[in-house]
Structure 1
Amino acid sequence: MSESRAPFVKICGLKTARDVDTAVEAGADAVGFVFAPGSPRTVDAGAARELAARVPGGVLTVGVFRGQSVDEVRRLTEESGVRGVQLHGDEGPEYYDALRAEGRTLLRATALHVARCGEFGEDLLLIDAPDPGSGKPWNWASQEFTAPAGHWLLAGGLNPGNVREAVETTGAWGVDVSSGVESSRGVKSPDLIRAFVEAARG
Protein backbone atom coordinates (compact mmCIF):
# COMPACT_ATOMS: atom_id res chain seq x y z
CA MET A 1 0.00 0.00 0.00
CA SER A 2 1.25 3.46 -0.82
CA GLU A 3 2.41 5.41 2.22
CA SER A 4 0.66 8.49 0.86
CA ARG A 5 -2.85 7.02 0.96
CA ALA A 6 -4.78 6.55 4.16
CA PRO A 7 -6.88 3.37 4.26
CA PHE A 8 -10.61 3.43 3.52
CA VAL A 9 -12.47 3.02 6.83
CA LYS A 10 -15.94 1.50 7.21
CA ILE A 11 -17.77 1.48 10.56
CA CYS A 12 -20.49 -1.17 10.49
CA GLY A 13 -23.50 -2.17 12.56
CA LEU A 14 -24.65 1.37 13.39
CA LYS A 15 -28.08 1.76 15.01
CA THR A 16 -28.33 5.25 16.48
CA ALA A 17 -27.95 8.86 15.36
CA ARG A 18 -25.09 9.24 17.84
CA ASP A 19 -23.25 6.30 16.26
CA VAL A 20 -23.67 7.70 12.76
CA ASP A 21 -22.73 11.26 13.67
CA THR A 22 -19.65 10.06 15.56
CA ALA A 23 -18.45 7.90 12.65
CA VAL A 24 -18.94 10.71 10.14
CA GLU A 25 -17.27 13.32 12.34
CA ALA A 26 -14.35 10.95 12.99
CA GLY A 27 -13.74 10.72 9.25
CA ALA A 28 -15.14 7.32 8.28
CA ASP A 29 -15.46 6.72 4.54
CA ALA A 30 -18.45 4.40 4.90
CA VAL A 31 -21.07 3.44 7.47
CA GLY A 32 -22.94 0.15 7.50
CA PHE A 33 -26.47 -0.83 8.54
CA VAL A 34 -27.24 -4.49 9.16
CA PHE A 35 -30.41 -5.87 7.52
CA ALA A 36 -29.44 -9.52 7.97
CA PRO A 37 -31.77 -11.16 10.52
CA GLY A 38 -30.61 -12.50 13.85
CA SER A 39 -27.99 -9.89 14.71
CA PRO A 40 -28.12 -7.55 17.73
CA ARG A 41 -27.19 -4.84 15.23
CA THR A 42 -30.12 -5.40 12.84
CA VAL A 43 -32.20 -2.36 11.89
CA ASP A 44 -35.29 -2.03 9.73
CA ALA A 45 -35.50 -0.04 6.51
CA GLY A 46 -37.28 2.92 8.12
CA ALA A 47 -34.66 3.34 10.83
CA ALA A 48 -31.85 2.97 8.31
CA ARG A 49 -33.42 5.61 6.06
CA GLU A 50 -33.49 8.12 8.93
CA LEU A 51 -29.89 7.33 9.82
CA ALA A 52 -28.67 7.40 6.22
CA ALA A 53 -30.26 10.82 5.77
CA ARG A 54 -27.76 12.15 8.35
CA VAL A 55 -24.80 11.05 6.25
CA PRO A 56 -23.14 13.50 3.82
CA GLY A 57 -22.81 12.51 0.19
CA GLY A 58 -19.10 11.86 0.44
CA VAL A 59 -19.61 9.02 2.92
CA LEU A 60 -20.91 5.71 1.55
CA THR A 61 -23.99 4.21 3.24
CA VAL A 62 -24.05 0.41 3.06
CA GLY A 63 -26.74 -2.18 3.75
CA VAL A 64 -25.42 -5.54 4.97
CA PHE A 65 -27.27 -8.71 3.94
CA ARG A 66 -26.74 -12.43 4.51
CA GLY A 67 -28.67 -15.27 2.90
CA GLN A 68 -31.55 -13.07 1.72
CA SER A 69 -33.25 -13.19 -1.67
CA VAL A 70 -32.41 -10.75 -4.43
CA ASP A 71 -35.93 -9.33 -4.17
CA GLU A 72 -35.59 -8.74 -0.42
CA VAL A 73 -32.15 -7.16 -0.81
CA ARG A 74 -33.42 -4.87 -3.56
CA ARG A 75 -36.52 -3.88 -1.59
CA LEU A 76 -34.64 -3.04 1.61
CA THR A 77 -31.96 -1.18 -0.33
CA GLU A 78 -34.54 0.98 -2.09
CA GLU A 79 -36.67 1.55 1.03
CA SER A 80 -33.67 2.56 3.15
CA GLY A 81 -31.95 4.64 0.50
CA VAL A 82 -28.49 3.19 1.14
CA ARG A 83 -26.05 3.55 -1.73
CA GLY A 84 -24.06 0.38 -1.13
CA VAL A 85 -25.01 -3.30 -0.86
CA GLN A 86 -22.81 -5.77 1.03
CA LEU A 87 -23.56 -9.45 0.53
CA HIS A 88 -22.18 -11.52 3.38
CA GLY A 89 -23.27 -15.05 2.56
CA ASP A 90 -22.86 -17.57 -0.25
CA GLU A 91 -24.48 -15.35 -2.90
CA GLY A 92 -23.13 -16.04 -6.38
CA PRO A 93 -22.27 -13.73 -9.28
CA GLU A 94 -25.94 -13.69 -10.34
CA TYR A 95 -26.75 -11.58 -7.25
CA TYR A 96 -24.26 -8.93 -8.27
CA ASP A 97 -25.61 -8.89 -11.82
CA ALA A 98 -29.17 -8.49 -10.55
CA LEU A 99 -28.35 -5.78 -8.01
CA ARG A 100 -26.10 -3.64 -10.16
CA ALA A 101 -27.57 -0.14 -10.49
CA GLU A 102 -26.38 3.35 -11.38
CA GLY A 103 -24.66 4.94 -8.39
CA ARG A 104 -24.73 1.74 -6.31
CA THR A 105 -21.57 0.22 -4.84
CA LEU A 106 -21.52 -3.57 -4.46
CA LEU A 107 -19.42 -5.21 -1.75
CA ARG A 108 -18.67 -8.91 -1.48
CA ALA A 109 -17.80 -10.20 2.00
CA THR A 110 -16.16 -13.60 2.36
CA ALA A 111 -13.88 -15.55 4.67
CA LEU A 112 -12.47 -17.52 1.72
CA HIS A 113 -9.17 -16.95 -0.02
CA VAL A 114 -9.88 -14.77 -3.05
CA ALA A 115 -7.26 -13.82 -5.63
CA ARG A 116 -8.64 -10.42 -6.56
CA CYS A 117 -11.53 -8.02 -6.13
CA GLY A 118 -14.16 -8.19 -8.86
CA GLU A 119 -14.41 -11.94 -9.50
CA PHE A 120 -18.16 -11.89 -8.78
CA GLY A 121 -18.72 -8.41 -10.19
CA GLU A 122 -18.25 -6.62 -6.87
CA ASP A 123 -16.77 -3.13 -6.61
CA LEU A 124 -15.16 -3.76 -3.23
CA LEU A 125 -14.07 -7.01 -1.60
CA LEU A 126 -14.21 -7.56 2.16
CA ILE A 127 -12.08 -10.32 3.66
CA ASP A 128 -13.56 -11.45 6.97
CA ALA A 129 -11.92 -13.56 9.65
CA PRO A 130 -11.87 -17.36 9.23
CA ASP A 131 -14.67 -17.58 11.82
CA PRO A 132 -16.85 -14.54 11.03
CA GLY A 133 -18.30 -12.87 14.08
CA SER A 134 -15.87 -14.54 16.47
CA GLY A 135 -13.77 -11.43 16.96
CA LYS A 136 -10.66 -13.50 16.21
CA PRO A 137 -8.53 -12.05 13.39
CA TRP A 138 -6.43 -13.78 10.79
CA ASN A 139 -2.78 -14.32 11.58
CA TRP A 140 -1.98 -11.63 9.04
CA ALA A 141 1.76 -12.30 8.92
CA SER A 142 1.43 -16.06 8.34
CA GLN A 143 1.42 -17.87 5.01
CA GLU A 144 -2.23 -18.83 5.55
CA PHE A 145 -3.19 -15.23 4.78
CA THR A 146 -2.74 -14.00 1.22
CA ALA A 147 -3.82 -10.48 0.35
CA PRO A 148 -6.03 -10.24 -2.74
CA ALA A 149 -5.39 -7.80 -5.55
CA GLY A 150 -7.46 -4.66 -6.00
CA HIS A 151 -9.70 -2.72 -3.65
CA TRP A 152 -10.23 -4.90 -0.59
CA LEU A 153 -11.12 -4.30 3.04
CA LEU A 154 -9.80 -6.31 5.96
CA ALA A 155 -12.35 -7.23 8.64
CA GLY A 156 -12.65 -9.55 11.60
CA GLY A 157 -11.15 -9.00 15.02
CA LEU A 158 -9.99 -5.44 14.34
CA ASN A 159 -9.96 -2.82 17.09
CA PRO A 160 -8.16 0.45 17.85
CA GLY A 161 -5.24 -1.49 19.32
CA ASN A 162 -4.41 -3.67 16.31
CA VAL A 163 -5.77 -1.95 13.21
CA ARG A 164 -2.58 -0.07 12.40
CA GLU A 165 -0.51 -3.24 12.56
CA ALA A 166 -3.10 -5.02 10.41
CA VAL A 167 -2.93 -2.38 7.69
CA GLU A 168 0.86 -2.25 7.70
CA THR A 169 1.20 -6.04 7.64
CA THR A 170 -1.37 -6.83 4.96
CA GLY A 171 -1.30 -3.70 2.81
CA ALA A 172 -5.11 -3.63 3.00
CA TRP A 173 -6.77 -0.95 0.87
CA GLY A 174 -9.32 -0.47 3.65
CA VAL A 175 -10.64 -1.79 6.95
CA ASP A 176 -14.07 -2.62 8.35
CA VAL A 177 -15.04 -2.82 12.01
CA SER A 178 -18.15 -3.53 14.04
CA SER A 179 -17.70 -5.36 17.36
CA GLY A 180 -14.22 -3.88 17.80
CA VAL A 181 -15.75 -0.45 18.52
CA GLU A 182 -18.45 -1.64 20.93
CA SER A 183 -18.69 -1.17 24.70
CA SER A 184 -21.02 -4.19 24.86
CA ARG A 185 -22.53 -6.51 22.25
CA GLY A 186 -24.37 -4.39 19.70
CA VAL A 187 -23.69 -1.09 21.53
CA LYS A 188 -21.18 1.25 19.89
CA SER A 189 -18.72 3.37 21.86
CA PRO A 190 -18.11 6.88 20.47
CA ASP A 191 -14.64 6.90 22.02
CA LEU A 192 -13.72 3.59 20.38
CA ILE A 193 -15.07 4.71 16.99
CA ARG A 194 -12.91 7.84 17.12
CA ALA A 195 -9.88 5.88 18.33
CA PHE A 196 -10.29 3.28 15.58
CA VAL A 197 -10.40 5.82 12.75
CA GLU A 198 -7.43 7.69 14.18
CA ALA A 199 -5.39 4.50 14.61
CA ALA A 200 -6.29 3.21 11.13
CA ARG A 201 -5.06 6.44 9.60
CA GLY A 202 -1.86 6.27 11.65
Structure 2
Amino acid sequence: MTGAVTPFIKICGLRTPEIVDTCVALGVDAVGFVFAPKSPRYIAPADARVLVSRIPPSVEAVGVFQSEPVDSIVAELAQAGIGTAQLHGDYSRDDVAALEAAGLRVIRARSVSSFVSEEPVPGRVLIDGDHPGSGAEFPAALLAGRALPEGWILAGGLTPENVARRVREFGASGVDVSSGVESERGVKSAALIEAFVAAARASG
Protein backbone atom coordinates (compact mmCIF):
# COMPACT_ATOMS: atom_id res chain seq x y z
CA MET A 1 0.00 0.00 0.00
CA THR A 2 1.46 3.33 -1.03
CA GLY A 3 2.39 5.51 1.90
CA ALA A 4 1.99 2.70 4.44
CA VAL A 5 4.19 2.96 7.50
CA THR A 6 6.25 -0.11 8.29
CA PRO A 7 6.19 -0.89 12.02
CA PHE A 8 9.34 -0.91 14.15
CA ILE A 9 10.34 -4.60 14.35
CA LYS A 10 12.19 -6.09 17.33
CA ILE A 11 13.18 -9.74 17.61
CA CYS A 12 13.87 -10.69 21.23
CA GLY A 13 15.66 -13.48 23.05
CA LEU A 14 18.62 -13.96 20.68
CA ARG A 15 21.42 -16.30 21.73
CA THR A 16 23.31 -17.50 18.64
CA PRO A 17 25.43 -15.87 15.92
CA GLU A 18 23.33 -17.46 13.17
CA ILE A 19 20.09 -15.90 14.41
CA VAL A 20 21.74 -12.53 14.99
CA ASP A 21 23.03 -12.64 11.41
CA THR A 22 19.56 -13.56 10.14
CA CYS A 23 18.03 -10.56 11.89
CA VAL A 24 20.71 -8.22 10.56
CA ALA A 25 20.31 -9.53 7.01
CA LEU A 26 16.54 -8.98 7.23
CA GLY A 27 17.08 -5.40 8.35
CA VAL A 28 15.10 -5.56 11.59
CA ASP A 29 15.08 -2.41 13.70
CA ALA A 30 16.12 -3.96 17.02
CA VAL A 31 17.24 -7.20 18.63
CA GLY A 32 16.88 -8.13 22.28
CA PHE A 33 19.11 -10.05 24.67
CA VAL A 34 17.50 -11.38 27.83
CA PHE A 35 19.47 -10.81 31.02
CA ALA A 36 16.81 -12.25 33.35
CA PRO A 37 18.49 -15.39 34.76
CA LYS A 38 15.27 -17.39 35.16
CA SER A 39 14.34 -17.04 31.49
CA PRO A 40 14.95 -19.93 29.06
CA ARG A 41 16.31 -17.21 26.74
CA TYR A 42 18.90 -15.95 29.24
CA ILE A 43 22.32 -14.99 27.93
CA ALA A 44 25.25 -13.77 30.01
CA PRO A 45 26.36 -10.18 29.26
CA ALA A 46 29.84 -11.33 28.20
CA ASP A 47 28.34 -13.77 25.70
CA ALA A 48 25.93 -11.13 24.46
CA ARG A 49 28.86 -8.78 23.78
CA VAL A 50 30.23 -11.25 21.22
CA LEU A 51 26.88 -11.23 19.43
CA VAL A 52 26.46 -7.46 19.69
CA SER A 53 29.77 -7.07 17.84
CA ARG A 54 28.00 -8.56 14.79
CA ILE A 55 25.28 -5.90 14.79
CA PRO A 56 25.60 -2.70 12.71
CA PRO A 57 24.72 0.70 14.21
CA SER A 58 21.46 0.67 12.22
CA VAL A 59 20.11 -2.13 14.45
CA GLU A 60 19.31 -1.21 18.06
CA ALA A 61 20.60 -3.69 20.64
CA VAL A 62 18.37 -4.00 23.71
CA GLY A 63 19.06 -5.65 27.06
CA VAL A 64 15.97 -7.07 28.75
CA PHE A 65 15.76 -7.02 32.56
CA GLN A 66 13.30 -8.30 35.13
CA SER A 67 13.38 -6.45 38.48
CA GLU A 68 17.17 -5.96 38.43
CA PRO A 69 18.62 -3.05 40.46
CA VAL A 70 19.58 -0.01 38.42
CA ASP A 71 23.29 -0.33 39.26
CA SER A 72 23.28 -3.92 37.99
CA ILE A 73 21.54 -2.89 34.78
CA VAL A 74 24.13 -0.20 34.09
CA ALA A 75 27.00 -2.60 34.76
CA GLU A 76 25.58 -5.46 32.68
CA LEU A 77 24.77 -3.26 29.70
CA ALA A 78 28.28 -1.80 29.81
CA GLN A 79 29.70 -5.31 29.83
CA ALA A 80 27.50 -6.32 26.90
CA GLY A 81 28.12 -3.15 24.90
CA ILE A 82 24.38 -2.38 24.74
CA GLY A 83 22.82 1.08 24.98
CA THR A 84 19.12 0.33 25.59
CA ALA A 85 17.45 -1.20 28.65
CA GLN A 86 14.01 -2.84 28.44
CA LEU A 87 12.54 -2.90 31.92
CA HIS A 88 10.04 -5.48 33.18
CA GLY A 89 8.96 -5.06 36.78
CA ASP A 90 8.36 -2.29 39.26
CA TYR A 91 10.64 0.57 38.20
CA SER A 92 10.04 4.14 39.33
CA ARG A 93 10.45 7.35 37.37
CA ASP A 94 13.61 7.96 39.39
CA ASP A 95 14.98 4.59 38.24
CA VAL A 96 14.31 5.49 34.61
CA ALA A 97 15.89 8.93 35.12
CA ALA A 98 18.99 7.31 36.64
CA LEU A 99 19.38 5.00 33.66
CA GLU A 100 18.95 7.88 31.24
CA ALA A 101 21.48 9.93 33.23
CA ALA A 102 23.91 7.04 32.69
CA GLY A 103 23.49 7.56 28.94
CA LEU A 104 21.08 4.69 28.33
CA ARG A 105 17.86 4.57 26.33
CA VAL A 106 14.90 2.99 28.12
CA ILE A 107 11.88 0.97 27.03
CA ARG A 108 9.28 0.46 29.76
CA ALA A 109 7.51 -2.90 29.38
CA ARG A 110 3.99 -2.83 30.84
CA SER A 111 1.38 -5.55 31.08
CA VAL A 112 -1.86 -4.50 29.44
CA SER A 113 -3.63 -4.52 32.82
CA SER A 114 -1.09 -2.22 34.45
CA PHE A 115 -1.02 0.08 31.44
CA VAL A 116 -4.79 0.48 31.55
CA SER A 117 -5.04 0.93 35.32
CA GLU A 118 -2.00 3.11 36.11
CA GLU A 119 -0.90 6.63 35.25
CA PRO A 120 0.82 7.08 31.88
CA VAL A 121 4.57 6.57 31.86
CA PRO A 122 6.72 8.96 29.83
CA GLY A 123 9.06 7.64 27.18
CA ARG A 124 9.02 4.50 25.06
CA VAL A 125 6.49 1.89 26.13
CA LEU A 126 6.06 -1.77 25.23
CA ILE A 127 2.63 -3.22 26.01
CA ASP A 128 2.56 -6.97 26.63
CA GLY A 129 -0.01 -9.47 27.80
CA ASP A 130 -0.49 -10.13 31.49
CA HIS A 131 1.72 -13.24 31.27
CA PRO A 132 4.85 -12.18 29.36
CA GLY A 133 6.58 -14.98 27.48
CA SER A 134 3.45 -17.13 27.43
CA GLY A 135 2.74 -16.50 23.76
CA ALA A 136 -0.85 -15.55 24.57
CA GLU A 137 -2.69 -12.77 22.72
CA PHE A 138 -4.76 -10.15 24.54
CA PRO A 139 -7.88 -8.53 23.07
CA ALA A 140 -7.50 -5.21 21.26
CA ALA A 141 -10.64 -4.07 23.08
CA LEU A 142 -8.59 -3.75 26.28
CA LEU A 143 -6.87 -0.68 24.81
CA ALA A 144 -9.94 0.79 23.14
CA GLY A 145 -10.30 4.48 23.93
CA ARG A 146 -6.89 4.65 25.62
CA ALA A 147 -4.38 7.36 24.72
CA LEU A 148 -1.42 5.38 23.41
CA PRO A 149 2.05 6.94 23.46
CA GLU A 150 3.84 7.74 20.24
CA GLY A 151 6.10 4.93 19.09
CA TRP A 152 4.57 2.31 21.40
CA ILE A 153 5.48 -1.34 20.80
CA LEU A 154 3.02 -4.25 20.81
CA ALA A 155 4.06 -7.61 22.27
CA GLY A 156 2.23 -10.70 23.46
CA GLY A 157 1.28 -13.68 21.34
CA LEU A 158 2.58 -12.33 18.04
CA THR A 159 3.34 -14.84 15.27
CA PRO A 160 3.97 -14.72 11.51
CA GLU A 161 0.32 -15.68 11.06
CA ASN A 162 -1.26 -12.94 13.16
CA VAL A 163 1.18 -10.00 13.25
CA ALA A 164 -0.29 -8.12 10.28
CA ARG A 165 -3.81 -8.41 11.70
CA ARG A 166 -2.68 -7.40 15.18
CA VAL A 167 -0.82 -4.31 13.92
CA ARG A 168 -3.94 -3.19 12.08
CA GLU A 169 -6.23 -3.93 15.05
CA PHE A 170 -4.12 -1.93 17.49
CA GLY A 171 -2.62 0.68 15.19
CA ALA A 172 0.70 -0.31 16.75
CA SER A 173 3.84 1.64 15.88
CA GLY A 174 6.07 -1.34 16.57
CA VAL A 175 6.09 -5.06 17.32
CA ASP A 176 8.20 -7.27 19.55
CA VAL A 177 8.31 -11.06 19.18
CA SER A 178 10.10 -13.87 20.97
CA SER A 179 8.22 -17.15 21.47
CA GLY A 180 6.29 -16.64 18.23
CA VAL A 181 9.42 -17.21 16.15
CA GLU A 182 10.74 -20.25 18.02
CA SER A 183 10.88 -23.87 16.84
CA GLU A 184 10.90 -24.90 20.51
CA ARG A 185 10.99 -22.99 23.77
CA GLY A 186 14.04 -20.71 23.76
CA VAL A 187 15.23 -21.81 20.29
CA LYS A 188 14.78 -19.27 17.48
CA SER A 189 13.90 -20.31 13.92
CA ALA A 190 15.43 -18.33 11.06
CA ALA A 191 12.55 -19.32 8.78
CA LEU A 192 9.94 -18.12 11.28
CA ILE A 193 11.80 -14.83 11.80
CA GLU A 194 11.90 -14.26 8.04
CA ALA A 195 8.17 -15.00 7.78
CA PHE A 196 7.40 -12.71 10.72
CA VAL A 197 9.36 -9.78 9.30
CA ALA A 198 7.71 -10.17 5.89
CA ALA A 199 4.24 -10.27 7.46
CA ALA A 200 4.92 -7.28 9.71
CA ARG A 201 6.13 -5.25 6.77
CA ALA A 202 2.97 -6.14 4.85
CA SER A 203 0.74 -4.98 7.71
CA GLY A 204 0.27 -1.48 6.32
Q: TM-score, normalised by structure 2?
A: 0.90
Counterpart of 1:19? Answer: 19
Pairing of 1:1-202 with structure 2 (within 5 A): 3-101=3-101, 104-111=104-111, 112-114=113-115, 119-122=120-123, 124-140=124-140, 142=141, 144-146=142-144, 148-202=148-202
RMSD: 1.8
Q: Say which structure is richer in helix.
A: 2
**Does the 8 A contact of 1:97 with 1:121 survive in 2?**
no
| 2: CA distance, partners of 1:107 / 1:70 | 14
| 1: CA distance, partners of 2:114 / 2:67 | 20
| 2: CA distance, partners of 1:7 / 1:182 | 21
| 1: CA distance, partners of 2:131 / 2:48 | 27
Give the % identical residues: 46
How much does 1:195 deviate? Answer: 0.5
Q: Structure 2 unaligned segments of length 5 or more: list them.
A: none
| 2: CA distance, partners of 1:105 / 1:97 | 10
How much does 1:19 deviate? Answer: 1.0
**Does the 8 A contact of 1:86 with 1:106 survive in 2?**
yes
| 2: CA distance, partners of 1:169 / 1:125 | 18
Amino acid at match of 1:158: L
Aligned length: 196
| 2: CA distance, partners of 1:38 / 1:139 | 28
| 1: CA distance, partners of 2:136 / 2:39 | 18
Q: Structure 1 unaligned segments of length 5 or more: list them.
A: none
**Does the 8 A contact of 2:64 with 2:88 survive in 1?**
yes
**Does the 8 A contact of 2:74 with 2:102 survive in 1?**
no
How much does 1:150 deviate? Answer: 1.1
**Does the 8 A contact of 2:127 with 2:152 survive in 1?**
yes
How much does 1:101 deviate? Answer: 4.4
| 1: CA distance, partners of 2:115 / 2:130 | 13
For residues 155-197 of structure 1, the C-alpha deviation after alignment (integer angstroms, 9 at most, x for no partner) is 0100000000000111000000000000000000000001101
**Does the 8 A contact of 1:49 with 1:79 survive in 2?**
yes
How much does 1:37 deviate? Answer: 1.5
Structure 1 runs of 4+ with >4 Å offset: none
How much does 1:102 deviate? Answer: 7.1
